[in-house]
Chain A
Amino acid sequence: MIPWGASIRVQWWDRGKIGGVQGNHRFWIWVPLFLVWLMLAPVVVVLFPLVALVSVFLGISGVELYATAWQMLSSLRRTLVEVESPEVLVRVKVW
């Protein structure tokens, strides 16, 4: 199943001159990926004949190409990328 959404969490700290934490800020964004797919769906449909033509020209199966792309999209679920430094933490989760 393709991912429905992603969450992006950003947290940062204000550190004083001696390194202590003076402030803690965070915000969290929920990205509704299903809306993105809904918006892209007509584009995909319109491009399908072009992709099919290019696939025939290149000697590959257009249906298999779409199926593999769908599979790649679906396997993005539960991907997690987290980067943390002393000042900031960014976490992206796809679900």
Chain B
Amino acid sequence: MGDDRRQVLEMLAAGKINADEAERLLAALEGGSATSAPASGGARKVKYLRVTVDTDQNSSKTPTKVNIRVPMQLLRSGVKLAGLIPVQAREHVDEAMRQHGMAFDLTQIKPENLEELVEQLQDVTIDVDDDHTKVRVFAE
């Protein structure tokens, strides 16, 4: 694409085409790139967060399957709710989490950050496997 534009500009500079013709060629190139661009807007929208846990019969505990599906909207609302926590309470929460070894800052959790995370989640699958348990977290 960049090469085509450069070629058009070089032809204009060399006098092989006039300004009107260059403009039409550039417009045609831009129109062609818009139609040939990958349809990234058609990426599926993430609606649910799914957590599955599967323990097998070799586990000392009773083999169990857990399947949880949570709408993403609930997470968004949770983040909004976190934003409503009063500043004094937030500081207390942050301090308590720091004492437990989690350097967490509630003020940094914003709805737009979550939207970015949700967008990326559609391609993320977290698999945790050990001898007796499989945990899978993914978005669908």
The residues of A with any CB-CB pair to B shorter than 8 Å are 58-61, 64-65, 68-69, 71-72, 74-87
Q: A83-B64, A85-B64 are in contact. Are A75 and B84 (CB under 8 A)?
A: no
Closest CB-CB distance, A65 to chain B, in whole Å?
6
Contact across chains for A85 and B84 when beta carbons are under 8 A apart = no
Contact across chains for A74 and B73 when beta carbons are under 8 A apart = yes
Query: Which of B64, B71, B87 is the one whose CB lies under 8 Å from A78?
Result: B71
Q: Tell me which residues from 71 to 106 in chain B have a Cβ below 8 Å from any Cβ of chain A.
A: 71, 73-74, 76-78, 80-81, 84, 86-87, 89
Query: Which of A59, A69, A80, A85 is the one whose CB lies under 8 Å from B87?
Result: A59
Closest CB-CB distance, B48 to chain A, in whole Å?
7
* B63 on interface, CB distance cutoff 8 Å: yes
Q: A60-B86, A78-B48 are in contact. Are A72 and B70 (CB under 8 A)?
A: no
* B45 on interface, CB distance cutoff 8 Å: no
Q: Which 5 A-B pairs have the closest CB atoms?
A: A75-B73, A72-B77, A80-B69, A75-B74, A82-B67
Query: For this complex, into which size category does the number of interface residues on chain B fall?
Result: 20 to 34
Contact across chains for A77 and B65 when beta carbons are under 8 A apart = no
**Secondary structure call for the A interface:** mixed
* B39 on interface, CB distance cutoff 8 Å: no
Q: Can you give 10 A-B contacts (C-beta < 8 A)?
A: A58-B86, A58-B89, A60-B84, A71-B76, A72-B81, A77-B71, A82-B65, A84-B64, A85-B63, A85-B64
Closest CB-CB distance, B2 to chain A, in whole Å?
45
Q: A65-B84, A68-B77, A86-B63 are in contact. Are A81 and B68 (CB under 8 A)?
A: yes
